[in-house]
Amino acid sequence: MQYKLPVSTLVVIYTTDLEVLLLERADHPGYWQSVTGSQEKGESLYETAVREVFEETGLNADHYDLTDLQTQNTYEIYKKWLHRYAPGILCNTEHVFGLELPHILPINLAPREHLKYEWFPWQEAAKCVFSPSNREAILQLPKRMRAVAACKVPKF
């Protein structure tokens, strides 16, 4: 068995209207989350985010605004998922990205990973996710969008 690296990306996919995409896990019905996945050997974090977005949604993140949100979360791996990591690995470091889409797009799910998807207003999405770091990333979206908008230079 090839063990997962204890480094992952969390990619919150959202629209300019702050509709957030959530995916329901196939291995744990009722568990909703943003796109997430472990880094593979030799990948940059950006490459991991792009790959995971494509694998889980069918979207090509390179066609949209994928941003490293410069947030890292280190957390204890849930006991039910420890078997995926090498013996003695207890913690994972998650790197948070945001993927802004111009509007809601259709999604092609990876059926072995997810049962269904839904687009939620950001406040509702934050209430639906099981992961505290996912919840916090969603709650930070409006603030991050305002900061980015303030920094954009008008084109003349």
Residue ranges of the domains in the chain?
7-151
pLDDT digits (tens, 9 = 90+) for 48-57: 999 999 999 9
Token pair for residue 15? 């629209």
pLDDT of residue 68 exceeding 80 = yes
- Mean per-residue pLDDT, 69-80: 93
Cα(93)–Cα(77) distance, integer angstroms: 10
Q: What are the CA-CA distances from residue 19 to residues 29, 38, 99, 144 (Å)?
A: 22, 25, 12, 14
Question: Judging by beta carbons within 10 Å of its beta carbon (0-12, 13-18, 19+), is residue 134 exposed, middle or buried?
Answer: buried
* pLDDT interval class at 154 (50, 70, 90): low
Per-residue pLDDT, averaged over 42-64, amounts to 97
Asked whether the predicted pLDDT for residue 9 surpasses 70, the reply is yes
Query: Can you tell me the mean pLDDT for 109-130?
Result: 96
Report the mean per-residue pLDDT for the chain. Answer: 93
Pairing outcome for strands 7-15 and 65-76:
unpaired
Determine the Cα–Cα distance for residues 122 and 130; give it in Å rounded to an integer.
15
What's the pLDDT band for 80 if we cut at 50, 70, 90? Answer: confident
- CB–CB of 33/13 below 8 Å? no
According to DSSP H, which parts of 32-154 are helical? 45-57, 122-128, 132-139, 141-151
Start-to-end CA distance of the chain, whole Å, equals: 57
- CATH code, 7-151: 3.90.79.10
